[in-house]
Structure 1
Amino acid sequence: MTDNARPPVTRRRLLAGGGGLVAAAAVGGGGFAWGRSGRTATADPSAPTAAPHAFHTRPDLAIPVVDVRTTGPTAGGLVFLTPAAGGGGRGPLLVDGAGQPVWFRQVTGPGVIAVDARVQQLGGEPVLTWWEGTIDPKYGIGSGEFVIVDRAYKEIRRLRSPGPTPADQHDLLITARGSAIFFCYEPVGADLRSVGGPADAALVDCVLYEVDVATGKILFRWRGRDHIGVDESYAPAPSGATARVPYDYLHANSLTVDTDGTLVMSARHTWTIYKIDRGSGAIRWRLGGKRSDFTMGPDAAFAWQHDARRRSDGTLSLFDNEAGVTTRSSASRGLILAVDETARTATLVRALAHPDALLAPSQGSVQELPGGGSLVGWGQQPRFTEYAADGTLVASGALPADNGSYRAYKFDWSGTPDDRPMVAAVRGTGEAVTVYASWNGATAVRRWRVRAGTQPDKLAVAATSGRDGFETALSLTGPAVFVAVDALDANGRTIGSSPVTAVPPAAAAG
């Protein structure tokens, strides 16, 4: 398939509606709806409310409530989410095993959301990465950039596309050699008569870039249309009223470096996982779809999938949506497959089902956890579940019902913000004062200490208490006009102190 002589369809035209994208869903559109659709779970009266957390120390943060329930031993670490709508603000969110917030960064701007917050390694140091931008809700294609921050949550870099279109949200992989691999979706003119479309149509091509993080130099570029034909797609070809709508025939949505240095890429609209030679760009094999090189064992086939990843034991995991442009079955699932690249067979090792038989028409993830367990993010459905190595459900989590998170992860993470702890005080009856303490993103805080006094430069220790979630309340009974708080680590050392703040006076008698 080659480009025809028509001028390329620009990204501005594509996303601004010049090509009819906003008015009508693109042919084969991937969809990125944040509300729940399709088959939904039975209402749970104990699910988190739509109202976000409200904190005295951080009234600027509207952090969504996350409900977590455990039924067995779980892996350590924090849960990484990117709530994008509904009950609370939008942005990367880290919560502990009880669902209590640890760190939240609220993104702003019309339609701007954050996607795919996770821990990666850059230059031998752990970093936190995510994507920020806007996403067409029908097309499922993003226009934005990647953010990389260090342990102090300071931005190291904003990584942008080196090509003519902005970076898409579906994945970012930072490699051991200091490069970053991600997708861009580039619209081009195409002849689609081979699949029943018009000769002068538009095609949305998936372009994979590998760039040096430090310099931005392009190290590798791969174009889907050079290697994957439109006849592999399960998305309907453009025709009739949709004849001028760009055809999203591939919709790649995850990638990873395999153990042999090749790339493994998932493409939602072809129901296929591709192994790509990192030098020549040639496809070494196809798993699933119309041209599968593998014999698929019983219950091993998948449809409209996301998040294909190699696991430490050599198996391959993925999120089998089973729904997208069409619906193939009534419930999504996490899959673990044994893939024999010599015998060219794929057999089911384990299917991870949600007890409420959720169907997620978009998004979703399956992450291997230490010890062989798995964390499944249910994408468009605002849930995540953790399973032991044998597939036993050990924890269930939920965002507000009108929210969602593209993926869900669990990572060990330690952060020390470069800002100071926050303090707020509320005066009660008589000399009673409640002091509130928080430090957004500080993972080493174990206790809080309040210093109080009648003069700002003469404060004495007035109370101490163990950390209690994102914001800890401490009660004072003695006279306090000014207060400050100190964050203490497990050894009792002060690792941060708030500014001194005045305690509000008592309310005047009515």
Structure 2
Amino acid sequence: MKLLEAIACATALMPLAAADWQFKSRTDLAPPRLNITIPATKDVEKGYLFIAPFPGQWAEPQFHGPRQEAPYIVRDDGELVWSGYTYFSIWAANFQKARWNGQDVLFSFEGDHNPGYGHGHGHATILNQNYETIRELRAGNHKLMDKHEFHVVDEKTALLQVYQPVPRDLTRFGGSPEQQWIVDAIFQELDIQTGELLFEWSSLEHVSPDEAVLPLNPGQAGAGWNSSDAWDYFHINSVDKDTSGNYLISARDACAVHKINGTTGEIIWRLGGVRSDFELGPNVKFCFQHHARFVKQSEDEEIISLFDNSAHGTENHRGREVHTHPFSQGKVISVNTATWTAEIVQAFQPPDGLLAKSQGSTQLLPNGNALVNWGSEGAVTEFLVDGTPIFHAYMDSGFLGEGVQNYRAFRYNWTGLPTEEPAIVVEKTSSGTKVYVSWNGDTETAIWRFYAVTDRFGSRAYLGETPRDGFETSFVLTGHSYPSLAAEAISATGRVLTTTRVARIQDAVFPPSGSFESEDRSSWRQVVLQA
């Protein structure tokens, strides 16, 4: 049997519903499943995982996940806390928690995504703890915000990045008269409240294109034929700011990290690339890196962290993908401006030898651990200080478990207080009555308490309660059957947080709980693999 025929056959056998029946109370949601290969140990940092997975560039949608690409908050065991699928209606990335105006907030880039050229155009959307949109921020000076960076500084300002194609004479860099477009990599600092532009820096004003690691020809970073194919010689993908007001930027296509004077815009130093100011010690060398951050600073020494991809998704003139090391790493590096040397402090190596051709992040956690996100490989790992992996998972929600990517991943403590109402479904089965209840984004419910609605005036009779142990909680009634039921969310201190609507009993629908995952999905998988 041909593969396409097998696919058509298997598809015909699948339920017509689009979601994958993870939740009876929210059949509209199909969040990614984590394929956990190293379960979280007791030493992982407290908090939830913040991810925003999406399909790979060449992934076929009928096979690969996530089926619903969106920002998500999940537990270490893969249990969903919050699905942002209905909150962000367009492509989203760089999903994080921050503090703004004295409150905890969520933010994410959302907008257009151009995977072939590695950029996007859109804005940052900020949500409060109730998951309500409280601000949208766009780039200043009539420019378009790119997807790569949105970083909150001192609870007041935001750093963001702009991908700006401009026409230039590129003949001195090997361009023909028709190759006349280059990307001016720009970053800005804006006041979040007012949108006022506070600072703007342009790569073309400070960095010559001859510092590019990827040359104009053969067009690995754009060939310059038009504004959509502009040569992305520098490619800023992260910006940070220190307490002295200076900036740290990662320039992927220059394989360098630059420290920038926050007043003049002049380059204070370069680490890596073709004009490094430092002698690099063992394992310091990096290339095509992401997510550079200040960690610690003293008079002569600065500690920074970054994600060293050591790979680029494009091919060289021999048709081979560009890579400078067998696998990617999270790194912490010390740079000394007295001796002008750079030494490795920590290096975090992937459990499965992963080589991320794009994307990635390294987050140093409050307890000293590090959370490394492997970008295009769709995986995340938490490490002890000594580099021991104590949690590793793939964002594997596709039928064949491939094709998932994730730009950055983070771990944060978070308190979610959703204003949307909980969802409740009551089903009559052959063994009795079963109630399913969930509340998207809720982190505070400890117990669900269930009631029968006994008359048309809303009188209620207590039926029982059960601990909340995941996104969806179920409760089984045996014996007497009631036509209508409701539930209350109870906090750990005994406070009633909210009450569901009244749900009327209905007959159970296909598939029965768990059957699609254990039977239908496996038989579908067998059909495809036998093709």
How far, CA to CA, are the matches of 1:330 and 1:137 in structure 2? 24
Counterpart AA for 1:449: R
Looking at structure 2, the residues matched to 72 and 310 of structure 1 have their Cα atoms a distance apart, in angstroms, of 28
Residue 167 of structure 1 is matched in structure 2 by: 145
Contact 2:186 2:236 in 1 (8 A): no
Higher alpha-carbon deviation: 157-166 or 466-475 = 157-166
Please give the alpha-carbon distance, in whole angstroms, between the structure 1 residues aligned to 2:87 and 2:492.
Answer: 35
1:454 positional shift: 3.5
Q: Is the 8 Å Cα contact of residues 92 and 114 (structure 1) preserved in structure 2?
A: yes
Instruction: Report the residue type matching 1:466 in the other structure.
Output: P
Instruction: Give the conservation status (yes or no) of the 8 Å contact 1:52–1:64.
Output: no
Give TM-score scaled by structure 2 length: 0.82
For residue 144 of structure 1, the aligned residue among 104, 117, 122 is: 122
Question: Does the C-alpha gap of structure 1 residues 239 and 357 become closer, same or farther in structure 2, counting only changes over 3 Å?
Answer: closer
| Structure 1 pair 107–205 and aligned structure 2 pair: CA distance change class (3 A) | farther
Q: Which has the higher helix share?
A: 2
Q: Distance in 1 between matches of 2:259 and 2:86?
A: 35
User: 1: distance between equivalents of 2:50 and 2:212?
Assistant: 32
Give the distance between the partners of 2:87 and 2:266, measured in 1 at CA: 41
Paired-residue identity, % = 35
Does the alignment pair 1:277 with 2:256?
Answer: no
Structure 1 length-normalised TM: 0.85
1:443 and 2:446 equivalent? no
Aligned residue identity for 1:500: V
Q: What does residue 304 of structure 2 align with?
A: 316
* TM-aligned CA deviation for residue 132 of structure 1: 0.6
Offset of residue 299 of structure 1: 1.4
The one of 183, 187, 192 equivalent to 1:213 is 192
**Is contact 2:182-2:224 (8 Å) kept?**
no
> 2:489 maps to what in 1?
487
8 Å Cα contact 2:99-2:155 kept in structure 1 = no
SS at match of 1:284: strand
Corresponding position of 2:240:
256
Which of residues 35, 40, 61 is equivalent to 1:70?
A: 40
For residue 70 of structure 1, give the secondary structure of its aligned residue in structure 2.
Answer: coil
Pairs within 5 Å for 1:116-127 = 116-127=94-105
Alignment length (residue pairs): 456
| Corresponding residue for residue 403 of structure 2 | 402
Residue of structure 1 equivalent to 2:93: 115
Distance change (3 Å), C-alpha of 1:265 and 1:107? farther
Map 1:342-353 onto structure 2 (within 5 A): 342-353=338-349
- Cα separation, partners in 2 of 1:243 and 1:338, compared to 1, 3 Å: closer
Please state how far the C-alpha of 1:437 moved relative to its aligned partner.
0.9
| Aligned-partner SS, 2:358 | coil
SS in 2 for 1:58: coil
Separation in structure 1 between the aligned mates of residue 261 and residue 155 of structure 2, nearest angstrom: 17
Find the partner of 1:294 among 275, 278, 298: 278
8 Å CA contact 2:308, 2:330 repeated in 1: yes
Is 1:104 the counterpart of 2:83? The answer is yes
Q: Report the CA distance between 1:436 and its aligned residue.
A: 0.6
Aligned residue for 1:308, secondary structure, equals strand
Report the more deviating stretch, 180-189 or 313-322. Answer: 313-322
- One of 479, 495, 498 as aligned partner of 1:496: 498
Tell me how far apart the structure 2 counterparts of residues 99 and 258 of structure 1 sit (CA, whole Å). Answer: 35
Determine whether 1:391 maps to 2:387: yes
> 1:380 aligns to what SS in structure 2?
helix
Q: Determine if the alignment matches structure 1 residue 81 to structure 2 residue 71.
A: no
TM-aligned CA deviation for residue 350 of structure 1:
1.8
- Tell me which amino acid in the other structure corresponds to 1:65: R
Q: Which residue of 2 aligns with 1:305?
A: 289
Give the alignment partner of residue 195 of structure 1, picking from 173, 176, 181. Answer: 173
Structure 2 counterpart of 1:11: none
Residues 234 and 51 (structure 1 numbering): CA distance in 2 closer, same or farther, change over 3 Å?
A: farther
For the 8 Å contact 2:307–2:329, the answer to whether it is kept is: yes
Relative to structure 1, the CA distance from residue 90 to residue 246 in structure 2 (aligned partners, 3 Å threshold; closer, same or farther) is same
Question: SS in structure 1 opposite 2:99?
Answer: strand
Determine the C-alpha separation between the residues in 2 that align with 1:182 and 1:198: 33
Structure (1/2) with the larger strand percentage? 2
- 1:94 aligns with 73
The 10-residue stretch of structure 1 (406-415 or 311-320) with the greater mean CA deviation from structure 2: 311-320
Cα–Cα, structure 1 residues 53 and 228, in superposed 2: closer, same or farther, change >3 Å?
A: farther
Letter in 2 for 1:205: D
Is the 1:90–1:107 contact (alpha carbons within 8 Å) kept by the matching residues of 2? Answer: no
Aligned partner of 2:111 in structure 1 is 133
Closer/same/farther in 2, CA of residues 177 and 101 from structure 1, 3 Å limit: closer
Q: Distance in 2 between matches of 1:203 and 1:212?
A: 29
* CA deviation vs aligned residue, 1:403-436 (integer Å, no higher than 9, x gap): 1211111001101001221111111137x21101
Q: 8 Å contact 2:369–2:383 — kept in the other structure? A: yes
Post-superposition offset of 1:311: 2.1
Is the Cα contact below 8 Å between 1:164 and 1:186 reproduced in 2? no
**Whole-Å separation in 2 of the counterparts to 1:361 and 1:506:** 46
**Which residue of structure 2 aligns with residue 359 of structure 1?**
355
Distance 2:218 2:67 in 1: 41
Asked whether the 8 Å contact 1:310–1:316 carries over to 2, the reply is yes
Conserved 8 A contact 1:488-1:494: yes
- Once the 2 structures are TM-superposed, how far is the Cα of residue 166 of structure 1 from its aligned partner? 2.2
Unaligned runs of 5+ in 2: 1-17, 56-64, 315-321, 397-401, 510-531
- The CA deviation at 1:109 is 9.3
The more displaced of 340-349 and 226-235 is 340-349
Q: What is the alpha-carbon root mean square deviation over aligned residues?
A: 2.1
Over 3 Å counting, the alpha-carbon distance change for 1:137 and 1:451 in structure 2 is: same
Partner of 2:12: none
Deviates more, 1:241-250 or 1:319-328: 241-250
Please report how far the alpha carbon of residue 330 of structure 1 lies from its aligned counterpart in structure 2 after TM superposition.
1.8
CA displacement, residues 195-217 of structure 1 (integer Å, 9 cap, x when unaligned): 21235610111121212212212
Give 1:312 deviation, angstroms. Answer: 4.8
Which segment drifts farther, 197-206 or 401-410? 197-206
Matched, 1:411 2:379: no
Distance 1:416 1:70 in 2: 26
Task: Give the 3 Å change call, closer, same or farther, for CA 51–368 of structure 1 in structure 2.
Answer: farther
Q: How far apart are the structure 1 equivalents of 2:337 and 2:413? A: 32
Cα contact 1:453–1:479 (8 A) shared by 2: no
Quote the Cα distance in structure 2 between the aligned partners of 1:198 and 1:269: 21
In structure 1, give the amino acid aligned to 2:173: V
Q: Structure 1, residues 445-486: CA drift from partner, whole Å, max 9, x if none?
A: 111111113425022221211112110111112321111111
Structure 1's unaligned 5+ residue stretches are: 1-49
CA distance in 2 between counterparts of 1:505 and 1:317 reads 55
- Counterpart for residue 54 of structure 1: 22
Q: Secondary structure at the match of 1:75?
A: coil
Measure, in 2, the Cα distance between the counterparts of 1:231 and 1:128: 39
Q: CA deviation at 1:328?
A: 1.6
- In the alignment, the residues of structure 2 paired with residue 312 and residue 372 of structure 1 have an alpha-carbon distance, to the nearest angstrom, of 13
